[in-house]
Amino acid sequence: MITHFFNQMPALVVVVPMLAAPLVVLAHRQWAAWLIFVGACWAIFGMAFLLFVEAKIAGQVSYAVGGWAPPFGIQLVIDPFNALVLLLVTGVAALTSLYARASIAAEIVAERGYLVYALLLLCIAGLVGITITGDAFNLFVFLEISSLSSYALIAMGPKRRALLSAFQYLIMGTVGGTFLLIGIGLVFMMTGTLNMADLASRLPPVADTHTVQAALAFIVVGLSLKAALFPLHVWLPNAYTYAPSVVSAFISATATKVAVYAVFRFVFTVFGVDYAFGTLPLGEVLLVLSAIAMIAASLAAIFQTDVKRLLAWSSIAQMGYIVAGFALATPDGISAGLVHLLNHGLIKGALFMAVGALFWRLRGSSINDLAGMGRAMPVTSAAFVVGGLSLIGVPATAGFISKWVLLSALFEAHRYLLVAMLLLASLLSIIYVGRVIEALYFRARPDDVTEHAHGEAPLGMQLATWALIAANIAIGLHATPELGAAQRAAAGLMGGGT
């Protein structure tokens, strides 16, 4: 019985949230919907952890969906690389589930609350699916599942501008998704297979054709759109700013990260390092774009008046760090990119949750609204400060670890200009985080803000925020397990094959 369960775990991680979504809709009642949501999220988090351990011991867990052997059937693969991403997605989902109750009760009309849970579950199912699938077309389908649900989630934001943001994201996201579909079609045309491992072995003989080159271009551009890589980031600031707090927190911590994972799953596993970075100049292109992203987006973040928008711009800058690591295509670079992918998920999730907690009380998220909240909500403000320090990269936080490994990888690759730009971007992040902290602690409460609640945020919201903050500090103090896991993942990717 128990071994049977273990064998089915890779499928269950996707199926549980997907089936829980209609259950939530049927349950309808707020508390019942929330209980199902929490149960599903923690169940998949538990399974993801078991899968992570299993992948660590066995090197790789493979699951043939429906019993159809790969490469003909759909294969789910958990290897050291995506086990970490899976852990991030399900972990953030589990904490979001605790956070969601109070936040949704405060921001969404009560009759629609259950729909948020259902959409979040679908989004989780899609993201988990992207992470563990070993089939190119299946990845497209999961990408669309997660995207469609996130468009709807963003449209649930309280302001009317959420609607246009969601629509613009829908247009850009669909173009990106369709680009991915074209790319997958082109490689399928050349090889006749959709299984990633099978593709990897069948592509080299035909790699020297325009079709395959075009396929790589379409896939990278399509997925970069989802990952908000500069200059394809236009949808992101509005989407994160106007979405409900819980949605901003969940999506910022997971969706773009999973898209970056998908880009590099295709680049490293399917097309191969030598092809993408040797034959084609993908590395140079990505490094230049990520360098621009770091500086330009950090500069833009400094001039924002809304904290959520500020954090969104900062996310674009941080995507630059992540992509810079991967684009070095050295084992150190890849593990640095992966470490920052995870750490930034934890940092941004925590920061957006802290802002959401402030929003819960103030119904506003402009820097002026937040002025003086350091005294009114000390626990939440402290969480924001620690998260902000981690974003800057102060020692003893996760942000420090990722910047350290990223810088050493850049030094090793002799990319000194990028080192300078990364340091400059870090200095800029001190300014934008500093602006918020200054308002929180060193300014008086404005008289013109009507507060909708009193005291600290509800326990669930604080618990989730501080759990992410604690993860940041834990990684900052003892990074060896994470670094070890990332290095194993990088070694696996450089070795080729899933």
Partner 1 sequence: MMDFFNDTVAGLFNYWIVFGLMMIGFYTVIAHDNLVKKLIGLNVFQTSVFILYISMGDIRGATAPILIDGQAIYAHPLPQVLILTAIVVGVSTTALGLALIVRIHEAYGAIEEDDVLAADFATQDAEDATEQARSAQARATEPHAPADADDGAEREESRPS
Would you tell me which residues interact with partner 1 (CB under 8 A)?
A: 137, 140-141, 144, 148, 151-152, 155, 160-161, 163-164, 166-167, 170-171, 174-175, 177-178, 181-182, 185, 188-189, 305, 366-368, 371, 375-376, 443-444, 446, 448
With beta carbons less than 8 A apart as the criterion, state whether 230 and 316 touch.
yes
Task: State the nearest-atom distance from the C-beta of 439 to partner 1, in Å.
Answer: 8
Nearest to partner 1 of 111, 448 (CB atom): 448
CB of 73 to partner 1, least distance (A): 12
Closest to partner 1 by CB, 118 vs 406, is: 118
Instruction: Find out whether 472 and 350 touch, Cβ atoms under 8 Å.
Output: yes
Is 223 in contact with 176 (CB distance < 8 Å)?
yes
Under DSSP, the state recorded for 111 is G
- Give how far Cα 289 sits from Cα of 71, 285, 322, Å: 35, 6, 12
Pick between residue 358 and residue 483 the one whose CB is nearest to partner 1. 358
Whole-angstrom distance, CA of residue 175 vs CA of residue 191: 24
Nearer to partner 1, 173 or 320 (CB): 173
Nearest distance from C-beta of residue 387 to partner 1, angstroms: 23
- Sign, CA dihedral 304-308-313-317, equals positive
- Quick one: DSSP state of residue 134? -
Write down the least CB distance from residue 107 to partner 1, Å: 17
Phi, psi dihedral angles at 78 (to 5 degrees)? -115, 115
Contact 335/260 with Cβ under 8 angstroms? no
Nearest-approach distance from CB 218 to partner 1, in angstroms: 10
Burial class (CB in 10 A: 0-12, 13-18, 19+), 182: middle
CB of 367 to partner 1, least distance (A): 7
Asked if 228 and 315 touch (Cβ cutoff 8 Å), the reply is: yes
Minimum distance from residue 380 beta carbon to partner 1 (Å):
15
| Residue 17 vs 349, nearer CB to partner 1 | 17
**Which one, 164 or 477, has the nearer CB to partner 1?**
164
| Smallest distance from partner 1 to CB 394, Å | 24
3-state helix, strand, coil in the chain (%, to 5): 80, 5, 15
- Stretch (H or E) spanning 258: helix 245-264
Provide, rounded to whole angstroms, the least separation between the CB of residue 37 and partner 1. Answer: 22
Closest C-alpha among 351, 342, 426, 338 to residue 387: 351
β-pairing, 61-64 vs 75-78, is antiparallel
Residue 174: CB atoms within 10 Å: 15
Which residue, 77 or 439, is less far from partner 1 as judged by CB? 439
Rg, Å, the chain Cα set: 21
Which of residues 353 and 371 has its CB atom nearest to partner 1 in the complex? Answer: 371
Of the two residues 110 and 444, which places its CB atom closer to partner 1 in the complex? 444
